[in-house]
């Protein structure tokens, strides 16, 4: 992959390698701690661009993930379940929730309560909501696929808020114009 002109790379004070790029969903930023993705953010449309490193400072794995993010935003089905992530900022409970969330299939949704049950904490739906709000790697840990009970959209922490969550769910449902809730997932369902 060739790094395009709209990709900017820099190293920040925490020794993270940070990349900014444009996607059809808006500007995004990825930061790696070594080979593990530590942060992903959808940026405000008018975010100040950073400058710094050259494309040669990226590994093949990092270049591939950048391309996958661009492709995902363009409507190509991408599975981010195996992307190595740095979850060290979270509690053990949050890490378990994020790991379970990362396995929710493309185009499917689960409720906060279902995700709590999958993580072995039935009844902890509110704590799951808190974990989702602390997720530093949305899209890769697809918190947009977690909804409220009763098929309600729930919250979403990003500069674009709920409107971006709806766009991501629409993209995955293949309906880019009118919001339609994706199918409820059978992911992790326990047999009765």
Residue 114 lies in a domain: yes
Q: Which domain holds residue 17?
A: 8-73
Task: Give the contacts of 110 (CB within 8 A, at least 6 positions apart).
Answer: 104, 118, 145, 146, 147, 184, 185, 187, 188
| Predicted pLDDT at 1 | 39
Residue 1 lies in a domain: no
Q: How far apart are CA 112 and CA 116, in angstroms?
A: 6
- pLDDT tens for residues 66-114? 999 999 999 999 999 999 999 999 999 999 999 999 999 999 999 999 9
Strands 146-147 and 108-111: parallel
Residue 80 lies in a domain: no
- pLDDT tens for residues 137-186? 999 999 999 999 888 888 887 777 888 999 999 999 986 544 455 556 55
Least confident of 17-31, 40-54, 107-121, 127-141: 40-54
Q: How far apart are CA 159 and CA 102, in angstroms?
A: 21
Domain boundary among 73, 104, 130: 73
| Predicted pLDDT at 175 | 63
pTM over 0.85, yes/no: no
- pLDDT tens for residues 35-71? 999 999 998 876 565 554 445 578 999 999 999 999 9
Catalogue the active-site residues: 143
């Amino acid at each position: 992959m060739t790094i395009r002109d709209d990709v900017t790379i820099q190293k920040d004070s925490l020794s993270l390698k940070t990349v900014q790029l444009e996607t059809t969903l808006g500007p995004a930023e990825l930061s790696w701690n070594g080979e593990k993705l530590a942060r992903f953010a959808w940026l405000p449309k008018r975010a100040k661009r950073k400058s710094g490193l050259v494309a040669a400072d990226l590994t093949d794995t990092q270049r591939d993930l950048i391309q996958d993010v661009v492709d995902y935003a363009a409507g190509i089905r991408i599975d981010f379940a195996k992307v190595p992530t740095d979850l060290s900022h979270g509690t053990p409970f949050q890490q378990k929730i994020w790991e379970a969330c990362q396995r929710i299939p493309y185009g499917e949704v689960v409720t906060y309560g279902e995700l709590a049950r999958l993580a072995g904490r039935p009844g902890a739906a509110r704590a799951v909501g808190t974990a989702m709000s602390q997720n530093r790697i949305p899209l890769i840990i697809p918190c947009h696929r977690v909804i409220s009970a009763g098929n309600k959209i729930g919250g979403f922490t990003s500069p674009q808020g709920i409107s971006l969550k709806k766009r991501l769910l629409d993209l995955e449902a293949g309906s880019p114009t009118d919001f339609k809730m994706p199918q409820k997932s059978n992911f992790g369902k326990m047999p009765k």
